[in-house]
Structure 1
């Protein structure tokens, strides 16, 4: 997601069909002194490192997007745009694949320390997993109540919790990148071609902050050099310390006592944070890029209930909301003066995943028959009829984990995957027979994880529980307000109900959801055929073959009864007349993608 609130974790394919466009603000925009904007989101922030399996969640990455800069970003067309005010990247060679990254001179962190090769080198080490100790199983060191690492790894063990795999992304860059003479660039060489190389890398977290905290170094320049020396010399003892801090040091649920972890290089920096209430961002006075903010402070209030978010907007307590759409939300927003409302279909889809290992009730979904039995009870059409049709009369069941309904390849994939043959409708008789074939007694428990604060998910749970009971399954409530951090946590649940949200159009971005050890493979799922398909997809530039491979992924998931898709999210965005420049993107971070374009109106400025 860990992983994503009310619409979820990372998933993207090249088959998305999307529209709408807003130009970005020209460089030179100035902050309107005294202005503030308040947005609402449905889950609290809890990690400034969105690249760990724990921190990879929309609620975190919305904030991180505003506080960290990178080489590129998606606009709301959506098209990939390079941020040339931050740095540049160049494809030096295709065989072998070599990419040169360079940070612009003058780009700095909020503490005025330069952003440079040390930051990129540490980010490469983390995202590539090049130094990770082989065959290390981190699950036993995680807290099943939170999903966090709470027990120190064995001495000398290196583990960056980035979901790195050796066949995709930076996992294909196992050689230490070469640093430019000026110290602001690195050259990376891939062992194989990677089709989405342009999306694979960013500057990362502040290396000097990590080294100062992990190694006890006071001087930031010395700290950066310690990072470079450790990586270039393959000093596993030092790298292990850096990895441990990288994994956990940026997790916090209120204003941290050590504010160095707030160090930013984006338009904003975190200035206040009250647990479970709000987080406030202040314009970063040391930001030198083109995305200069116009609003001085942005506060994100955590409002888990959609109707409460609507009320807050109507009362003027917040200025922009993107709550989970429900009929009550739509009815409440209609006719409200001073508020602009837009509706659409988002890039998030609801689904259920089953745990292949590390489940709360060990072995409950060990067999194919057990998984098929449970999935046959999921009342997908009833969920849509009751909860989605009132918002979108054209809504249909989504039958692909890869393709968006209506996109090129969707119909063919659905026809060939076998999902309609197996799961076109609820079949209690077959579900009962399959449960018995799996040797599971009537009343076998399935602990379902979902967001307890989400009314729609609560309704879905009740419908699923009632239907599954008819086939002899007892579905228990494992919901939690902290559901995101629990995704993938060993022993926490047996099945999960949440949403995947697209973050890019990269064709290879689907792999981490289903390949062995992928960062978004939260189910401990492993299939050699799937891994081979993903590996080929990662290196294939032929679009026809890409389409064939994506369809293969759908087919394998159905054959393995990995889980089941339910519906595409209806989406609603509403904002007050105190702000202009809002035009949500279908990709994460949706409303926040152009935060630098948010412009306070005269009403806002006069009140400021």
Structure 2
């Protein structure tokens, strides 16, 4: 596959563009190993919806969390569970590879910077670009992506100008992020055009991946959303051109929820979820698997394997599934047991290890149980961060350390400096007396119920909540464990229906997407945080033209998060991709795209 014109991200710029949970893992931090103890690989067994792993035309990949939305750009669909399925179903103008580099996908189309002042970027779709249902990819698809991610249209019918963000945004499109695109002028094009030009009012640090990227802001089929709204693509183009909010609201109603899967109804019709990549979604067996098949309408280099089956298998069962031949590729969280089990498989498997931009943390909602700053302070002081790492992480990952920054991972340049200045280290160990004093100062009655949501099943997170409860209940809290299935967690998180959200953000090394998480008006700020100093630093971060100046801004954001008791980090995740020895192609990608970022290159060699 020809993907050229790399745009390198500096080491410091590799911070976070996030989805609910690994950018890039460089050659210096990842290694490919083949164990040597002499085990042999068993033949494949039948995979739901897609042949067997022994079939040379099928490769089976194990994934923990189930696919639940075709639209990974919405606030509820913004999750790794969806991205791993869609990486090669919805291609784009760019993507982040395994080295942390933004690559331009010239098979999909081209991006050309026309000017720096003002920043002006021309997007051109491949002349042969069509959806798998035969509809051409073009102007209407781009305008739908722009309208959805621009934050331009409000539910009350009003229209925001570039850079004007309401104090309490109520956009018609429930997008995960408006970063960058909210600084652009409305693009114009005619229905059927293959080129569109985007002009920014301000510089944007991540303009290469601002729109139409497989890094998290995919181009979706406008003709499908238009039909649901009772119009065609020409009508959608006109609605954007004329700022027809009433018509666009009908489009947005479908964009927000129309692509969300319903287990009772099964896989939507192929015309509802068409492909613009090497694979299309051929089958979905809820709770079991998703089957992807080669897309004959894909105009670029064909996928090397006809069928990829994504099997839903829990982390602790994935090595066994690989050993038995049930699957060909796995991506468990490495620990001594997993590493030893892989090593025991000998030359039958290969494994690619490295660091991930995925980090565990807890967010405290100021919209619900933690509007009172003194209560947040009490929780910070009783939360057993170091104990969580020591008791739950170190036994399986002896190199694990407490993370003291939400902006940089502990393997990144600048981490030592930012972690010393952030203030999180002050809350490594519990301070029960200080927590009791803060709780008393809050004026709250004893026994305040605090709901902690997390994805389930996940025994480690259940234990994290148990440790939090054991430490914080004596202070005055009543910690309640609220486990949710992966398809319920995303919508609950985006709705802000929690007091504490315990989860992992998975990043992709993009500075420009950090503001969405922490700005007072950010699309991923589900907890309602609002701090003027933090907003100022985040707005400056998004418009940087020299990323070497990012560290002081990132430090300010960390400091304000700690000083306001908004959110605290706990630990980072290591990563591994393991595969049968006769499988070529899978490479660890530490971003939210995970191993399927290059699925089209996977092949069986024998």
Superposition TM-score tier, normalisation by shorter sequence:
0.7 to 0.9
The match for 2:145 is: 123
Q: How does 1:508-519 map to 2 (within 5 A)?
A: 508-519=512-523
Matched, 1:424 2:446: no
Kept after mapping to 1: 8 A contact 2:221/2:274: yes
Take 1:325 and 1:350, find their aligned partners in 2: how far apart are those partners?
15
Would you say 1:439 and 2:452 are equivalent positions?
Answer: no
Corresponding residue for residue 225 of structure 2: 210
| Conserved? CA contact 2:23–2:96, under 8 Å | no
Q: Which position in structure 1 is the counterpart of 2:319?
A: 310
Higher mean C-alpha deviation, range 316-325 or range 552-561:
316-325
8 Å Cα contact 2:132/2:276 also seen in 1: yes
Question: Structure 1 residue 545 and structure 2 residue 549: aligned?
Answer: yes
- After superposition, give the CA deviation of every residue in 1:519-541 in whole Å (9 maximum; x if it has no partner): 32121222222222111111122
2:479, 2:220 → 1: CA distance?
Answer: 41
* Partner Cα separation in structure 2 for residue 600 and residue 325 of structure 1: 24
1:350 matches 2:365: no
1:199 pairs with one of 192, 209, 223: 209
Offset at residue 393 of structure 1 (A): 2.2
Instruction: Note if contact 1:11-1:510 (Cα within 8 Å) is conserved in structure 2.
Output: no
Residues 63, 212 of structure 1: CA spacing in aligned structure 2 closer, same or farther, 3 A cutoff? Answer: same
1:442 deviates by 2.7
Say which SS state the counterpart of residue 113 (structure 2) adopts: strand
Given that residues 21 and 76 in structure 1 are in contact (C-alpha distance below 8 angstroms), is that contact kept between their aligned partners in structure 2? no
Unaligned runs of 5+ in 2: 1-16, 33-53, 159-169, 213-217
| 2:394 corresponds to | 389
Residue 376 of structure 1: aligned partner: 381
How far does residue 308 in structure 1 lie from its aligned partner after superposition? 2.0
After TM superposition, give the deviation of residue 465 of structure 1 in Å. 1.6
1:143 aligns to what? none
The DSSP-based 3-state class of the residue aligned with 1:376 is helix
The alpha-carbon distance between structure 1 residues 347 and 334, as it changes in their structure 2 partners (threshold 3 A), is same
Write the mapping of 1:450-469 to structure 2, written as runs, cut at 5 A: 450-469=454-473
**What's the offset of the Cα at 1:100?**
0.8
Query: Is the contact made by 1:443 and 1:473 (CA closer than 8 Å) also made in structure 2?
Result: yes
Q: How does 1:526-605 map to 2 (within 5 A)?
A: 526-602=530-606
- Name the SS for the 1:475 alignment partner: strand
Cα distance change, pair 596–258 in 1 and its aligned pair in 2 (3 A) = closer
Does residue 159 of structure 1 match 2:181?
Answer: no
1:176 aligns with 2:186: yes
Task: Name the SS for the 1:353 alignment partner.
Answer: strand
Query: CA 1:591/1:163 → structure 2, altered by over 3 Å: closer, same or farther?
Result: closer
Q: CA deviation at 1:509?
A: 2.0
The one-character-per-residue Cα deviations of 1:220-258 (angstroms, maximum 9, x if unpaired) are xxx221111111122222111111111111110443343
CA contact (8 A) 2:386 2:428 kept: no
Describe the superposition over 1:47-85 as per-residue Cα deviations: whole angstroms up to 9, x where unpaired.
Answer: 010110000000001111120110111221121111111
Q: Output the CA distance in 2 between the equivalents of 1:125 and 1:8.
A: 21
**Please, which runs of 5 or more residues in structure 1 have no aligned partner?**
1-6, 23-31, 137-156, 218-222, 603-608
Structure 2 counterparts to residues 71-150 of structure 1, below 5 A: 71-133=93-155
Question: Alpha-carbon deviation of 1:21?
Answer: 9.6
1:326 to partner: Cα distance = 4.3
The separation in 1 between residues aligned to 2:136 and 2:254, in whole angstroms, is 21
1:435/1:90 CA distance change after superposition, 3 Å: same
1:289 corresponds to 2:294: no
Cα deviation, residue 486, structure 1? 3.8
C-alpha separation between the residues in 2 aligned to 1:19 and 1:345?
A: 7
Q: Residues 124 and 84 of structure 1: is their aligned pair in 2 closer, same or farther, counting only changes over 3 Å?
A: same
Given that 1:330 and 1:391 are in contact with CA atoms closer than 8 Å, whether structure 2 keeps it comes out as: no
Is the contact between residue 355 and residue 365 of structure 1 (CA under 8 Å) also seen in structure 2? yes
What's the CA shift string for 1:490-530, capped at 9, x where partnerless? 46321011111112x22222111101232321212222222
Task: Give the alignment partner of residue 476 of structure 1, picking from 476, 480, 486.
Answer: 480
Is it true that 1:262 corresponds to 2:266 in the alignment?
no
Q: Could you tell me which residue of structure 1 aligns to residue 250 of structure 2? A: 241
Encode CA deviations 1:242-284: one digit per residue, 9 max, x unaligned. Answer: 1111111111044334332220101110000011111111110
- Structure-1 separation of matches of 2:28 and 2:152: 36
With normalisation by structure 2, the TM-score equals: 0.85
**How far apart are the structure 2 equivalents of 1:428 and 1:200?**
45
Q: SS where residue 295 of structure 1 aligns? A: coil
- Using the alignment, how far apart are the partners of 1:81 and 1:592 within structure 2? 16
Contact 2:352-2:578 within 8 A present in 1 as well = yes
TM-score by length of 1: 0.85
- What is the distance in 2 between the residues matched to 1:555 and 1:321? 38
> SS of 2:484's equivalent?
coil
Aligned residues: 549
How far did 1:334 drift? 3.2
**What's the CA shift for 1:601?**
2.3
In 2, are the aligned partners of 1:193 and 1:539 still within 8 Å (CA)? yes
Aligned residue number for residue 277 of structure 1: 288
**Shift of residue 447, structure 1, vs aligned partner:** 0.9
